[in-house]
């Protein structure tokens, strides 16, 4: 394997990952989780935003495959970054929840309030 083939292999891997993301964006809703298992309701994933992220990733993979000799490489990179930013903006609530929410994800049915803490029981400490 020559050194010039590394961007081609990376470009193909990035395009395959983008194809998987695009399939997830256009796949029917019936294949997703039917029941919510968290205490809090999850933020909804914007399907259009997910598709834009997949297309932006595909553009960046195509730029890797095209290397320096492709005449449209710079335009494809700018388009890919623009699509990634647009997709991230459409999914900003979902991304905020995935990156910032650090609370306990306990299981429960619907919008149940958390179970009350029983103060009469002493807490056991592990040292």
pLDDT tens figures, 82-107: 999 999 999 988 888 878 876 555 55
Query: How many separate domains does the chain show?
Result: 1
| Alpha carbon distances (Å) from 40 to 37, 45, 68, 109, 111 | 9, 15, 48, 10, 7
Cα 78 to chain centroid distance, Å, stands at 21
Confidence (pLDDT) at 4: 82
Dihedral sign computed on CA atoms, order 102, 82, 21, 15: negative
Residue 35 covered by a domain: no
Confidence (pLDDT) at 118: 58
Residue written as tokens 């890919």? Answer: 80
Residue 58 covered by a domain: yes
Confidence (pLDDT) at 67: 83
Residue 52 covered by a domain: yes
Confidence (pLDDT) at 126: 78
Q: Model's pTM, two decimal places? A: 0.69
State the residue range of the domain holding 86: 3-27+42-100
Q: Which of 53-57, 88-92, 122-126 has the lowest mean pLDDT?
A: 122-126
């Amino acid at each position: 394997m020559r050194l010039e083939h590394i961007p081609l292999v990376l470009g193909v891997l990035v395009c395959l990952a983008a194809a998987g993301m695009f399939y997830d964006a256009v796949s029917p809703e019936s294949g997703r989780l039917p029941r919510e298992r968290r205490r809090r309701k999850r933020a909804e994933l914007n399907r259009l935003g997910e598709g834009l992220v997949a297309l932006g990733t595909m553009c960046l993979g195509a730029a890797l495959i095209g290397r320096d000799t492709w005449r449209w490489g710079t335009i494809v990179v700018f388009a890919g970054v623009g699509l990634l930013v647009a997709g991230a903006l459409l999914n900003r609530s979902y991304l905020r929840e995935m990156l910032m929410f650090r609370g306990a994800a306990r299981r429960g049915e619907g919008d149940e309030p958390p179970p009350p803490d029983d103060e009469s029981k002493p807490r056991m400490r592990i040292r």
